[in-house]
């Protein structure tokens, strides 16, 4: 690499890591792909977090994906035909190394007919892909760029540059997402539980463990990179601010170009006043009447009166039942958190 190219790479890395701390998770992948175009000529790009599946369900499990100027529903169609994906197998065999493919020659077997047809229809004729292990989770970070011109090939220099820069792009994405997660959890007066952040197409860019667990249990949904259709329809397509499904209630708020969706169990805790909830949470975590009175600077008799009202409204009779409701409730200080996020993102 000559001195001029080295300086360009240094400038790229500086801007990449700076942007990782400044741009939102929805903006940053697009910025990364556009910046990479100063080194490599390509039409389309995709970031994804994947885990190869084996056995009867051979193919890939996609945790999240970001597409750059891709055809509508391209990811969904690809997921339907990805079993036996030769490109994915090659990426796993050559971790950290960019691999270039001319699709008509790469998918020449009869069993590859669906993949070849898909690639031609979606204009993914020339493909360069690279994958890296993503921590101890078993997931791989997959990154690919595509060209639609059948007479054009990625050069050896393109391959070397993508191989050099891809690990930095992945690390910058990790930093960018970690910062967003920190903002979401840190801007609240108490940890937010049951929160998801997605773009207007339903692609998930952040979700905490509580939201992921609820989504999996109640919707039996394993595609963790996208909202379930049953949830996306009312909140995204119909634009509802709230939606209830059985024991879950979802609240959706748009902040800049992102959608923040909170989930809560519809337990009896919603029947309590703000003061009753406050005292119930203290009491349910083990504090005594006198300790709560000292903490809130109120009398012991006032605390006792509120606890009696809590038991009556929740139809419970002891402290262990209250503790269970307190710990299983997903009602966090979501409104205050969203207001703080709105100020931070806009």
| Segment 318-332, tens digit of pLDDT | 777 777 666 655 444
Q: Which domains does the chain have, with CATH numbers?
A: 3-182 (3.30.450.80), 187-266 (3.30.450.70), 268-328 (1.10.10.10)
Query: Please, what sign has the CA dihedral across residues 228, 234, 236, 241?
Result: negative
pLDDT band at 155 (very low <50, low <70, confident <90, very high): very high
C-alpha 297/C-alpha 280 separation (Å) is 16
Residue 35 burial (CB < 10 Å; 0-12/13-18/19+)? middle
- Residues sharing a CB contact under 8 Å with residue 256, sequence separation 6 or more, in sequence order: 24, 342, 345, 346
pLDDT for the residue 245: 76
pLDDT at 218 > cutoff 70: yes
SS3 (DSSP) at 119: helix
Mean pLDDT, residues 110-132: 86
Q: Which residues pair with 259 in a beta bridge?
A: 198, 254
Mean pLDDT (the chain, rounded): 78
| Across 6-10, 225-229, 336-340, least confident range | 336-340
Residue 109 CA to its chain's centroid (Å): 35
186 pLDDT band, cuts 50/70/90, is low
DSSP 236: I
């Amino acid at each position: 690499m000559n001195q001029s190219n080295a300086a360009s790479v240094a400038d790229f890395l500086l801007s990449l890591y700076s942007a990782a701390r400044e741009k939102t998770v929805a903006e940053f992948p697009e910025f990364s792909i556009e910046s990479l175009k100063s080194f490599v000529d390509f039409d389309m790009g995709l970031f994804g977090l994947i885990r190869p599946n084996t056995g009867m369900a051979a193919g890939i499990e996609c945790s999240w994906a970001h597409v750059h100027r891709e055809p509508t529903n391209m990811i969904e169609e690809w997921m339907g035909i990805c079993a036996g994906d030769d490109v994915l197998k090659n990426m796993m065999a050559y971790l950290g190394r960019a691999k270039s493919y001319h699709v008509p020659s790469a998918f020449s077997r009869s069993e590859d007919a669906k993949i070849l047809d898909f690639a031609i229809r979606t204009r993914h004729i020339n493909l360069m892909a690279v994958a890296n292990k993503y921590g101890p989770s078993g997931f791989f970070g997959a990154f690919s760029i595509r060209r639609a011109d059948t007479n054009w090939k990625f050069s050896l220099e393109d391959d070397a540059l993508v191989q050099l820069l891809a690990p930095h792009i992945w690390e910058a994405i990790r930093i960018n997402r970690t910062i967003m997660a920190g903002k979401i959890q840190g801007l609240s007066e108490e940890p937010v539980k049951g929160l998801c952040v997605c773009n207007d197409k339903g692609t998930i860019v952040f979700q905490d463990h509580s939201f992921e667990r609820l989504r999996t249990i109640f919707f039996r949904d394993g595609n963790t990179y996208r909202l379930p259709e049953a949830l996306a329809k009312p909140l995204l397509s119909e634009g509802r601010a709230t939606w209830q499904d059985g024991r879950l209630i979802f609240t959706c708020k748009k902040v800049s170009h992102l959608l923040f969706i909170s989930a809560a169990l519809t337990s009896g805790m919603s029947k309590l006043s703000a003061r009753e909830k406050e005292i119930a949470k203290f009491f349910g975590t083990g504090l005594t009447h006198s300790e709560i009175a000292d903490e809130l600077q109120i009398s012991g008799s006032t605390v006792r009166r509120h606890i009696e009202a809590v038991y009556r409204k929740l139809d419970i009779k002891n402290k262990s039942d209250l503790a269970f409701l307190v710990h299983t409730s997903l009602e966090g200080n979501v409104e205050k958190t969203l207001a703080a996020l709105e100020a931070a993102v806009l």
